[in-house]
Chain A
Amino acid sequence: MSTTAAPVDGASQEDLTRLAERWEERPSLRSWLSTVDHKKIGRRYLVTAGLFFALAGISALVMRTQLARPESRLLSPQEYNQLFTMHGTAMIFLFATPMLFGFGNFLVPLMIGSRDMAFPKLNALGYWIFLFAGLFMWASLPFGAAPNGGWFAYVPLTGEQNNPGLHIDVYTLGLLFLGIATTAASINFIVTALKLRAPGMSLNRVPLFVWAIVATAFMVIFALPALNVDNAMLFLDRRFSTHFFDPQAAGNVLLWQHLFWIFGHPDVYIIVMPALGIVSAVLPAFTRRGVVGYALVVLSIVSIAIISFGVWVHHMFATGLPQLSYSFFSAASTVITIPSGIQIFAWLATMLLGRVVLRVPLLFLIGFIVTFVLGGLTGAMFALTAFDQQVTDSYFVVAHFHYVLIGGAVFPMLAGAYYWLPKITGRMYHERLGRWAFWLVFAGMHVTFFPMHLYGLFGMPRRVYTYRGEPGWGGWNLVSTAGSYLLALGLLLVLAGMVHAIRRGRPAPPDPWGGDSLEWSTDSPPKAYNFPVLPLVHSVHPTWDDATRSSMGADATADRILADGRRTLFTSELDGRRERAAEMPEPSLQPLLLALGLLVFFTAMLLAWYPVAAVAVLAVAATLAVWLWPPRRPDRELGVSP
């Protein structure tokens, strides 16, 4: 839809035709189901995660309505407990990470100048599994069988004895199922960012967003196994009477908490880090300069990724572990705020030196700074054991992590959504509608969550389906509820703005913002092959530097056009030196079939149809065998004489 097609002049018309032949798919049901295009998959992640966000948000609105007044009877306790569990679980697992991975999927290959992810079929598999696992979990709600043990699912409340029925099995199996997708996507991000960067993009020229995604992916690889083991053991305890968490049989209930938070605390950064990457990606366009202290920001990203594995016990400060260990984890939790501080001040310095252009994406970044700093300050308070013991599990902590997660993840996502909408859809959004949406979201967020600090300090515990009138929490809760409606209204306006842009927005040029990274060097939306000419990167802001631009234009060479096949370039991990041009896989139905087989397997396990599960395992194994079957090599490689 682009009006100006600036970058294509490096490739001849004949090259473009051949590229289109090899990369573009004719619209059909089959191609819709079999696509491996990272842009389509990324868009699907964004839309699906948005859908789960809406469901989890509606759950929150219902809960806020219940809590508006003391002793309200809108919801039964059983219903409320399922709703707050699904709200937390879905927001964390089905919204935050998939939404950010959606951005990553769409953007990483574009930002590093590649034509797809390293493993396009694995990418498609990840999406289908995410979709099916999300539906698997949400489908339990209409049956009244949704998880009800909180997103943290502490034993023994989630054990068979205290919680019969399918609730917790939906949780354990759903998360194990979803974990496959998250792990696959993480491996894909790491390999893509290390091997598929355009030539010349040495590590010190990698966009900060890509750094953030890769650091996040490494965290997932190390953190998720703890959660998977935890869930597997809980499932075995419940279904097959093992005793991992049964204190009567020498099991240990705190084991669950340790494993959960060894995953759970890094997960906070797994959510926030890519969002901080979005901040670093969006800011240059609206300050007209690069982010101050590139190396410092990279160092802070990497150090957060490492330190975040040493702070998990601060979620267990009230469990009565030895004080000596508390003092260590308290120190680590204190220290981890420093890398975040570095990033905040790097962004502030960027704004103070640059020229601030106050468009909607930047408004959301400002909302991010205000909100995230407040959340970070209360976060540092939680590092102190004595204070933590007083306010943990009260509404104060609810306020804190909504400041961190809405401030640190949702605001950057919204900034990113407005910023990349032209790139993703080829359409511009309506500026005034966007401003209204921002102010409503910002006001709604603070009116909802700021009072929670107060009534948390005033003694209101969290996860209660109702409360008595005497303690005087009612007024503040009413304010929070009013704020939540405001917030919902703001988010509806965001949605309306997106729909309006797609339907009626004016066509977007390739680079409406004057952005600095490579995605702005190609069409809006990009062609199936992303770049007619793969760039030769000369700086950390490639779209701003003439040498990189001309490498895609006048200085284009055939070995970066690769028109004779479905190919992209592999480069060396550190220096981004050209290694070889690799053939990329064609669209395939195998990812969908494999995900369907897994869905059948997990559903059969849930309903204890073990023979069906066994058949599903065979189907999955067969699909994998076909998928991984080595391609027939050319005769000359096999040593056969011609």
Chain B
Amino acid sequence: MPVDTTRDATNAGSRRSRRRRRNGRVVRMTLLAGVFLLGGCAGDAPSALDPAGSGAARVANLWWLLFWISTAVFVEVMALLVWALVFRRGRDTRVRHGQPLRFVAVAGAGLPLVILVAVYAVGLRDLAALGHGPGPQAPTIEVTGHKWWWEVRVPGIDGATANELHIPVGERVRVRLRTADVLHSFWVPQLMPKTDLIAGEMRETWLQAQRAGRYRGQCAEYCGTQHAHMAFLVVAEPRADFDAWLARLGSTARQPETDAQRRGQQAFVQASCAGCHAIRGTPADGRVGPDLSDVGSRWSIGAGAVPNDGGHLGGWIANPQTVKPGAYMPPQPVEAARLPDLVAYLQSLK
């Protein structure tokens, strides 16, 4: 994913969090854990700490606030603990039998109450901000969760795609969420916190990206066998590209150009493929599995299970169960000789 700045974000935090504490064995162990944080490198992760949209940015700011408060409280508690371990040991230590209730009440209840009320107020502000969706004129995208892929549609446009949705940079886009079966959760860590997909109901969230890029999302509510492979991609792009995407979504699929592609199309339509999948502009109009009209341009096969290239595509068609065990697509009895044609055709659908 495009997150070249991830390292910066984490390291900036790390530099700030670098501090010296050397107090006894207990704290040394804790420090060791802290070192993991210092070395923290998110790689290409879709990191919530590297927000690219206003929703996630708000939460990232909230996180850093909470992080520093927590660090301060933890240091306070550890300091008291270490004090006791260092200065209250040994035979000569005289036990004091007082009841410092004021200390307990102030440190344990008073101070926390002040901090918590303040933090709660900030949290309420952020809750309201996240709930403040786009206006009625904003673009709307409809996402339907299936076991285990995402169907993507745009109201007023006939076509559909899967596991990939595009948004115009800078604009707030409304996302309507439904599920065809069990609960799922729509999560793009760099853009927006989660919204669950509730069976029998509709939920709404919104996405807004401040910079162009490809942002990984993934189902975050356990949804059965292949919950692990139910990822999707949000592509934030300039408005013109977004409009082009909308246009492609409404048009028929590209026609085959080579002989191999033509044979592949024939095979697709005549074999069992068309029973479950649709390719716009061909007789294939199945609605069980994803619409494949633009499958050649997608970032992955099987909702993030494997990269979208010829080898993986062929393997997937022959037997999806080796790639994504439990997925609803059965192994396909395609003749070995026809497989390259089929792959060539599907890869041409861009």
Q: Which A residues form the contact surface with B (CB < 8 A)?
A: 76-78, 81, 149-150, 154-157, 162-163, 247-248, 252-254, 287-289, 292-293, 296, 318-320, 323, 326-327, 330-331, 334-335, 337-338, 341-346, 348-349, 351-358, 366-367, 369-370, 373-374, 377-378, 380-381, 383-387, 389-394, 442-443, 446-447, 450-451, 454-455, 457-468, 470-473, 475, 479
Contact = CB atoms under 8 A, between A and B. Distances in A.
Nearest to B67: A381
A165 to B, nearest CB: 13
B127 interface: yes
A287 B325 CA distance: 57
B336 interface: no
B185 A473 contact: no
B273 interface: no
15 contacts: A78-B225, A154-B222, A288-B95, A296-B104, A351-B84, A353-B96, A366-B26, A370-B78, A374-B74, A384-B62, A389-B59, A450-B36, A457-B48, A458-B45, A459-B48
A442 B96 CA distance: 30
B44 A472 contact: yes
B285 interface: no
Contacts of A458: 42-43, 45-49, 189
Contacts of A331: 120
Q: What secondary structure prevails in chain A residues at the interface with B?
A: helix
Contacts of B46: 458-459, 471
Given A331-B120, A386-B59, A355 B93 contact: yes
Interface of B: 1, 26, 29-30, 32-33, 36-37, 40-49, 56, 58-59, 62-63, 66, 70, 73-74, 77-78, 80-81, 83-85, 88-90, 93-101, 103-105, 107-109, 112-113, 116-117, 119-120, 122-124, 126-131, 147, 181-183, 185, 187, 189-190, 193-196, 198-201, 203-204, 216, 218-228, 231, 304, 325-326
Which 10 A-B residue pairs are closest in the complex by CB-CB distance? Answer: A247-B200, A472-B43, A384-B123, A345-B108, A389-B193, A458-B45, A464-B228, A351-B84, A459-B46, A386-B126
A289 B45 contact: no
A331 B124 CA distance: 9
B77 A320 contact: no
Contact of B66 (A348, A387, A394): A387
Contacts of B108: 338, 341-346
B222 A348 contact: no
Contacts of B33: 446-447, 450
Contact of A337 (B96, B116, B220, B223): B116
Contacts of B131: 323
Contacts of B224: 81, 157, 162-163
Contacts of A288: 95
A352 B95 CA distance: 9
A330 B123 contact: yes
B71 to A, nearest CB: 9
Nearest to B177: A320
Contacts of B228: 77, 464-467
A451 B130 contact: no
A398 B4 CA distance: 27
Contacts of B189: 390, 394, 458-459
Contacts of B190: 459
